[in-house]
Amino acid sequence: MEESKEVKCLDKGFVRLVDHMGSDARIVQTARVSYGAGTKTVREDTGLINYLMRNDHSSPFEMPVVLLHIKAPIFIARQWMRHRTSSVNEISARYSEMKDEFYHPETWRAQSSTNKQGSFGIIEDQEAAILIEKNITEDAYSRYKDLLDLGASREMARAILPVGLYTEFYWQQNLKNLLHFLNLRMDAHAQQEIRVYANAIFDLIKPLFPISVAAWEEHVRNSVKFSPKEIEVIKAVVEYMQSEDPRILRSIKDKLGLQY
């Protein structure tokens, strides 16, 4: 056991860095076994990590491992569990009585009219929405306690609790899949609540793997894919482009299969 850094998320949640294994140096060491080469300068190591990230030579990024302790509402944990390439151990609502801990949103966002999965802006009657949520969670929890008092099993009584209830789990991931998770869940298309957690994880892991995370930001997170039709338009523009940095222009033309 080593670190125990924690970032608060939503009203009662958190992400806590429990432990980690590996570093940028370990990624480089792993990659160099491919070529039988030894330690090089930091500049060369940074270049190698960027090369690996840019070219999807991903197995060296599978070597480091991060263990996190998460406290999140069940509806967020459910999205989280879709990321199958991880190890999870979650609190058992069969074994333990669940605490009266629900996510109470401060502000109710409105349904987006352009994105069926997303929200946009906020609803007008915040007070009414806050009251509906408060009443339903208070009632559900007190009825849960009533069922337990009647002698009902915890595994059955939990069935009446809403998905805003907080759960806790330990989550272990290798760096490659953790960055994949961040790429999907820091994105603007992901639900705002899970983005809060993804951003917290990003803040925790960036100091552990500064070169790899910077390379990921450069070559994955902040890069975009283009369709063939979009590429045709870009090609036409690039033909006439000038740049103060000829290397960048050369690299773009190279990727687009243009003469330079």
The residue annotated as part of the active site, out of 185, 195, 221, 247, is 185
Q: Which position among 18, 177, 220, 234 is part of the footprint of ligand FAD (CB under 6 A)?
A: 177
Find the shortest distance in angstroms from Cβ 194 to ligand FAD.
8
Q: Is 116 exposed, middle or buried (0-12, 13-18, 19+ CB in 10 A)?
A: exposed
Rule CB under 6 A: is residue 235 a binding residue for ligand FAD?
no
Find the shortest distance in angstroms from Cβ 85 to ligand FAD.
4
Residue 9 or 28 having the CB closest to ligand FAD: 9
Rule CB under 6 A: is residue 192 a binding residue for ligand FAD?
no
CA gap 221, 72 in Å, rounded? 24
Both tokens of 5, joined, read 């850094």
Q: Tokens 């790899």 sit at which residue? A: 212
Q: Is 16 a catalytic residue?
A: no
Both tokens of 126, joined, read 């915040």
Q: What angle do CA 16, 8, 202 make, to 5 degrees?
A: 60
Q: Which position among 190, 231, 252, 258 is part of the footprint of ligand FAD (CB under 6 A)?
A: 190
CB of 23 closer than 8 Å to CB of 17: no
CB of 239 closer than 8 Å to CB of 258: yes
Q: Binding to ligand FAD (CB under 6 A): which residues in 69-128?
A: 82-85
Neighbours of 8 (CB within 10 A): 12
Find the shortest distance in angstroms from Cβ 68 to ligand FAD.
15
Residue 23 or 191 having the CB closest to ligand FAD: 191
- By annotation, the residues acting in catalysis are 185
Residues that bind ligand FAD (CB under 6 A): 82-85, 177, 180, 184, 189-190
